Amino acid sequence: MAIDLPETPAELLRFFVNPVTEGDLNEYYHLLSNRRRRLVIARVFVLDPGGFIEVKPLARQIAGVEAGTDPGAVPSSKYDAVYNGLIQSHLSALANAGIIVYEPDRKRVRRGPAIHAAVVMLAATIVILRFLGLQTRGESSR
């Protein structure tokens, strides 16, 4: 499910008139609920437009984040698990949604047309969850 962001006022109006189905929303939130997918989105988003990252260094960086260590210090078993997960599942799911462009034959990834929508959705969700967390903690201490 790729989302093309509106660029003109008329496109914006059409964008809000066309309803999003419950299935679309569930699919997108399920896609973004996985930590490795979120890390791929974050890493790919900071690439130069048109730039690529190969899957091996991407997997090493994600394994480093997951292990809380320098990517070069990640044990090979942890790296292998991340690499295999990316190749077998996560990259194709993100590519199918238009968030990334994944070239499986060349084992590299770049930004897709829906990367900005995914980043906005993730950022907004994080802000809302932090706000709700602060509100809940503040209310429970009264």
Spatial distance between the Cα atoms of 108 and 2, rounded to a whole number of angstroms: 20
**Overall domain count for the chain:** 1
CATH code of 58's domain: 1.10.10
Q: Is residue 72 part of a domain?
A: yes
- The predicted pLDDT at position 142 comes to 47
Q: Token digits for 44?
A: 């790919």
Q: What is the model's pLDDT at position 22?
A: 82
pTM for the whole structure: 0.80
> Does 14 reside within a domain?
no
What tens-digit pLDDT sequence spans the chain (142 residues)? 455 667 788 877 777 777 678 888 888 889 999 999 999 999 999 999 899 999 999 999 999 999 999 999 999 999 999 999 999 999 999 999 999 999 999 999 999 999 998 999 899 988 998 888 866 665 554 4
In a domain, 90, yes or no: yes
Task: Give the C-alpha separation, 111 to 100, whole Å.
Answer: 5
